[in-house]
Amino acid sequence: NAGVTQTPKFRVLKTGQSMTLLCAQDMNHEYMYWYRQDPGMGLRLIHYSVGEGTTAKGEVPDGYNVSRLKKQNFLLGLESAAPSQTSVYFCASAGVKGSGANVLTFGAGSRLTVL
């Protein structure tokens, strides 16, 4: 089992460029999340999904879009990157309560730099 896999691991963008971060999980988890981590800020929730075809806003959703077309994938898009979006992005997934897999499992992170 690979768990939660994020691609790419590193990316440098220029202001205004667009890109998509891909998250894939092979644990058949219902819930998926995108967090960003900045120095001294901990992890903040950007968007999340409670199932295939559903998405919802988290704490800091502005400037990001997401899609969950397949249960195993959760995509995070930046339509017009800004320097304030320089961060490390973490994807996580979790199973439903009572499944024994309700704890969030995180990917290794994607470091994004916007110049």
Question: Whose CA is closest to 23, among 66, 87, 62?
Answer: 66
Q: Contact 58/48 with Cβ under 8 angstroms? A: yes
Q: Please tell me the distance from the alpha carbon of residue 107 to that of residue 93, in angstroms, as a whole number.
A: 9
Task: By CB under 8 A, tell whether 108 contacts another protein.
Answer: yes
Separation in Å, CA 112 to CA 45, 61, 70, 72, 81:
16, 16, 24, 23, 10
CA 25 to chain centre: 11
> CB under 8 A: which stretch of 10-18, 65-73, 74-82, 106-114 binds another protein?
106-114
Report the residue from 8, 10, 12, 41 that binds another protein according to the rule CB under 8 A: 41
Task: By CB under 8 A, tell whether 40 contacts another protein.
Answer: yes
> CB under 8 A: which stretch of 11-19, 65-73, 76-84, 87-95 binds another protein?
87-95
Number of residues in contact with another protein, rule: CB under 8 A? 25
- CB closer to another protein out of 77 and 106: 106
- Per CB under 8 A, residues contacting another protein are 4, 31, 35, 40-45, 48, 50, 58-59, 90, 92, 94, 97, 102-109
